[in-house]
Amino acid sequence: MQRLVIEGERRLSGEITVHGAKNSALPLLAACVLSRGETSLHNCPKLSDVYAACRILSRLGCKCERNGGSVTVNTDGLTHFDVPDELMREMRSSIVFLGAILGRLGKCRLSFPGGCELGPRPIDMHIAALRQMGASIREEHGTLDCDVGRGLRGAKIALSFPSVGATENIILAAATAKGQTVIHNAAREPEICDLARFLNKCGAKISGFGETTVVIDGVERLHGCEYEVCPDRIVAATYLSAAAITGGELTLLGARACDIETVIPVFEQMGCTVCLYDSKIYISARRGLKAVKTIRTMPYPGFPTDAQAVVMAALTKARGTSIIIENIFSNRFRHVDELVRMGADIKTEGKVAVVDGVKRLSGACVKACDLRGGAALVVAGLGAEGITEVGDIKYIDRGYESIETAFSSVGGIIKRV
């Protein structure tokens, strides 16, 4: 079992590149199923979740090749409509293939994605919306058997919660459905905009994305295209947290500041200096950190739930008491116990975490329980006295391209053993 060994309290400094967004690359790879011929996704991150998505594409009969930072998909050989259980279990978000496979082939069989480390991950909104568009979906023996009969048709869909995955699945199913689909209370994440822009480049007619009402006018068919995946805003927040906790200064290359407009002020409240440029972010944390009043995770453009753990790690050494309220997932404080093992003073009650800053964290043996929680342990290890060993780093590899190489390149002492 691989683990990361970190020698903390090294001030990070220098330039660090933010790689392509996992949560954009995954729906974009699913969207390739809808487009005929060849598609190339550039700035596609080298992550285990991306490889899992490519395995699903290959299983469906597509040709999927990585060359450097790009992935090329050719769907001319697309024949299968089923995603086997072992592939579904590898990556919960493979549910986003449902809308694309239905849109292209008219039927789809995949196993229920089930819960994950963050708590139950229901897909009731996905299923209700696709049924509204004419799909018949049978759930039995842990499998979803879906068929569109005479074809998907546009519908007016109001989401009770701006679910990212449900919004993506509806957009994918609606792109080539008959008629117009309107999504009310749609998710507004930058990754949704990436998906809509990609599909429009393939010939789709989608408007309003990034706002709460998205309109999709179905078209006959979609062709391939070339597209550049947007930078990963959560990886950017992770690097900012590492600069903050080590009292360092970093320039994040390729970062899109507009995607993390509710995260930047938190670092400024901590006492960091942050300068924003077109495609880079500079942060300096020369002085000690101050606690921040209250952070509430909310759907975009609110503070992103995916940044909660890594920002909490930075706050463990901030003078004063910070309050973090996790409103999106029911089990997203699993990194807290591990941070406490490192000397952090954090108490949680339901969806509230109270972080009392401590002078020093001490290196310890800790375990990643989920992707962002694992990244938070790396951030804490970089700011802790002595050696920290982080186990179960397979979770971290799902969303970070060689996190040890990234931090070593700016002065961190971290290696994979």
> CB 294: neighbour CB atoms within 10 A?
10
Q: Are 20 and 230 in contact (CB under 8 A)?
A: yes
Output 267 or 329, the one with its CB closest to ligand EPZ.
329
Known catalytic residue at 275: no
Q: Which of 23, 40, 75, 322 touches ligand EPZ (CB under 6 A)? A: 23
Q: Which of 37, 115, 122, 265 touches ligand EPZ (CB under 6 A)? A: 122
Of 148-167, binders to ligand EPZ (CB under 6 A) are: 161, 163-166
Of 382-401, binders to ligand EPZ (CB under 6 A) are: 399
Q: How far apart are CA 66 and CA 50, in angstroms?
A: 10
Residue nearest ligand EPZ, Cβ-based: 165
Residue 125 found at the interface with ligand EPZ (CB under 6 A)? yes
Q: Which of 54, 88, 192, 371 touches ligand EPZ (CB under 6 A)? A: 371
Residue 169 found at the interface with ligand EPZ (CB under 6 A)? no
Whether a cis peptide bond, with omega within 30° of 0, leads into 301 is yes
Count of residues in contact with ligand EPZ, rule CB under 6 A: 23
Residue 123 found at the interface with ligand EPZ (CB under 6 A)? yes
**Site stretch for ligand EPZ (CB under 6 A), options 21-29, 104-112, 178-186, 205-213:** 21-29
Q: How far apart are CA 73 and CA 70, in angstroms?
A: 10
Of 320-339, binders to ligand EPZ (CB under 6 A) are: 328-329
Residue 139 found at the interface with ligand EPZ (CB under 6 A)? no
Angstrom distances, CA of residue 7 to CA of 17, 156, 242, 347: 22, 54, 13, 26
Nearest distance from C-beta of residue 56 to ligand EPZ, angstroms: 13
Nearest distance from C-beta of residue 94 to ligand EPZ, angstroms: 9
Task: Give 57-77 as a DSSP string.
Answer: HHHHT-EEEEETTEEEEE-TT
Output 155 or 166, the one with its CB closest to ligand EPZ.
166
Output 92 or 317, the one with its CB closest to ligand EPZ.
92
| Phi, psi angle pair for 409, to nearest 5° | -70, -10
**Site stretch for ligand EPZ (CB under 6 A), options 73-81, 116-124, 176-184, 314-322:** 116-124
Query: Which residue, 203, 202, 166, is CA-closest to 184?
Result: 166
CA dihedral of 116, 117, 118, 119, whole degrees rounded to 10: 60
Residue 306 found at the interface with ligand EPZ (CB under 6 A)? yes
Output 91 or 318, the one with its CB closest to ligand EPZ.
91
Whether a cis peptide bond, with omega within 30° of 0, leads into 190 is no
Report the amino acid identity of residue 273: T
Q: Which of 121, 205, 351, 360 touches ligand EPZ (CB under 6 A)? A: 121
Output 28 or 242, the one with its CB closest to ligand EPZ.
28
**Site stretch for ligand EPZ (CB under 6 A), options 62-70, 118-126, 141-149, 360-368:** 118-126
Residue 124 found at the interface with ligand EPZ (CB under 6 A)? yes
What is the pairing mode between strands 63-67 and 82-83? Answer: unpaired
Q: Would residue 350 be called left, alpha or beta, if left means φ above 0 and alpha means ψ between -120 and 50 degrees?
A: left
**Site stretch for ligand EPZ (CB under 6 A), options 67-75, 124-132, 235-243, 310-318:** 124-132
Q: Which of 4, 6, 12, 26 touches ligand EPZ (CB under 6 A)? A: 26
Residue 242 found at the interface with ligand EPZ (CB under 6 A)? no
Write the CB contacts of 350 (distance below 8 Å, at least 6 apart in sequence): none
Question: How far does Cα 238 stand from its chain's mean position?
Answer: 12
Task: Give 311-323 as a DSSP string.
Answer: HHHHHTTSBSEEE
Q: Are 299 and 188 in contact (CB under 8 A)?
A: yes
Residue 30 found at the interface with ligand EPZ (CB under 6 A)? no
Residue 235 found at the interface with ligand EPZ (CB under 6 A)? no
Q: Are 334 and 117 in contact (CB under 8 A)?
A: yes
Question: How far does Cα 113 stand from its chain's mean position?
Answer: 17
> Of residues 32, 116, 193, 365, which has the active-site annotation?
116
Residue 231 found at the interface with ligand EPZ (CB under 6 A)? no
Angle ∠(382,383,385) on CA atoms, nearest 5: 100
Q: How far apart are CA 373 and CA 334, in angstroms?
A: 7
Output 111 or 251, the one with its CB closest to ligand EPZ.
111
Q: How far apart are CA 412 and CA 417, in angstroms?
A: 16
Nearest distance from C-beta of residue 194 to ligand EPZ, angstroms: 11
Binding site for ligand EPZ (CB under 6 A): 22-23, 26, 93, 118, 121-126, 161, 163-166, 305-306, 328-329, 371-372, 399
**Active site (catalytic) residues:** 116
